Amino acid sequence: MVVYVDLIFLTNLCIDGALIGLTAWMRKTKLVWWRWLLSAIVGALYVVMMFVPEFDFMFTFLIKFGLSLVMLSIAFGFKGLQAFMRTLGTFYVINFVAAGGILGVHYMLQSSGELFNGIWFTASGGMSFDLKIAFWFTFVVFFAVLFLFKAVQSSKRKTDRMTTYLGKVEVFIDDVTISCTGLLDTGNQLTDPLSRMPVMVMEVSLWQDMLPAAWKGRLKDEAPDNLIMELDQEDFHWQDRLRLVPYRGINKGTAFMLAMKPDRVKVTMDEMCYETTKVLIGLDGGVLSSDGKYQAVIHPELVQDAASAQSTAISAGATEKPLNVV
C-alpha cells in the first residue's frame, strides 16, 4: 500500500483549519491568521505521526485530549477558564457533528450486502464492525457537513435575533379585539402627514370579517381610494375611522395605504406592556412574513415613546405609571 504523507498532511491541515474556523464563528471570536495556521499545522502533524511506529504511544485518549487543548490554546489563547471551557466544548461538538455526519452519509449510501460484509464475529462470540471509508469521500462529506451545520446555525441565529423583536399586538375597536404577533421594525418611519400619528401595518386578512365583503381580495391590487369611493353603497359602520396614508415604496412612486383609527393599541414585548391611542392601523393586502412568524409591523414610536415616558416617570420619583404604559 502506498501512503502519500504530504497529501494526508495537507488534507488534515484543511480539516483542522476548518474546525478551528467554525469554532471561532460559533464563539463569535476573531482569529489571528498566524495562530489559526499554526494550530492547524500542529493538528496535521499529529496525524502524520501515526505512520511512525516509534510514536504509537501518542495515540491514547489523554494525548489526544491534551493535543486539542494545545491547538485551542494556540488558536484562541487563554482568556479565562470559563471562556476556554466553552471554546473546548464548542470544538468537540463540531467534531462530533462532522464525524457523525460522515458516518451517517456513509451508511446511508451503502447497500445491505455491503453493510453485512463489514460485520464479523470475534472468537468470544462478540460482534465487531469493519469500517472502510474512502479518503476523498471523507474529505468531501466533511466539508459538506460543516457547511450544512453552519447554515443551520445561521438560520437559528437569525430566528433568535428576530424573536427578540417580536411582540404581542392587540388592537381594540369598539367591542372588537384583534390579536396577532408583531415585528418591531426600528427603521419604520411611516406616519400620517396630517395627524403625525405613527402607522402600524397589519395584514388585512386579520380584519377580513369586519371589512365590507366587496373588498375581499381587492386591497392588494386595487387602489384604496377606489374602494373608499364604493362605500356609498356599502353599510360599513367604521367608515369614519378610515384614513388614506401616503407612502413611497422601494422603486415605486407615491401610493396610498388604507388605514383605520383604533380606540387603542396594546403592545407587549419583553414582559413590558405599552398602550397608546395615538396610532393608525395600516392594512396590507399581502403576507408580511413568508413563514408566518408575524402578521404586523410595529412602529418603533409605539415602544420608544412609552419607554421614554416610563423612564422619565421613574427618574422623577413618580408613584403612578404614565398613561401610555401599562
185 is a catalytic site residue: yes
For 55, residues 6+ apart whose C-beta sits below 8 A from its C-beta are: 49
Long-range CB contacts (< 8 A, 24+ apart) of 79-86?
Answer: 86/27
For 131, residues 6+ apart whose C-beta sits below 8 A from its C-beta are: 103, 106, 118
Cell numbers linked to 159: 430566528
d(CA 84, CA 71): 12
Amino acid code (one letter) for 66: G
Catalytic residue selected from 56, 174, 175, 185: 185
d(CA 77, CA 57): 27
Residues with a known catalytic role? 185
